[in-house]
Amino acid sequence: MPPHETRIRVRYAETDQMGVVYYANYLVWMEVGRVEYCKACGFEYKQMELEDGVFLAVAEARCRYASPARFDEEVVIRTWVEDANPRMVRFAYEMRLAADGRTLATGETKHIFLGRDLRPCKMPEKYREKFGIHAPRTNQNAGA
């Protein structure tokens, strides 16, 4: 699936004493982008957890800050799957100011799939194509 864009407006509570967005909020925005990306793919995060008993646990998170965002500015969060296999998925993010396209931050999160017992498991088949994981092709000419 191509990158998905989510728009948010900076709330006053997300800023620090200097009047800029507090750094940890960018990780929250990445989560917002990730949840909206899944909806755009045709399923909800909550559905995967409740119906299939599969959770996406964050194993790694990275964020590189480039420029500050301030109260009431509109931010575009661009989200896409950078890499995926049946055991993990890595999302990439780009956060830009909507008004002029200035890059605010870039980042990525790596997730492992966990079952209800919180032990690693494989992603259910029905989600694999949505994350860009295609079934291996079989060689139909083998032995011919």
Catalytic residue set: 16
Phi, psi dihedrals of residue 119, rounded to the nearest 5°:
-105, 150
Q: Are 72 and 132 in contact (CB under 8 A)?
A: no
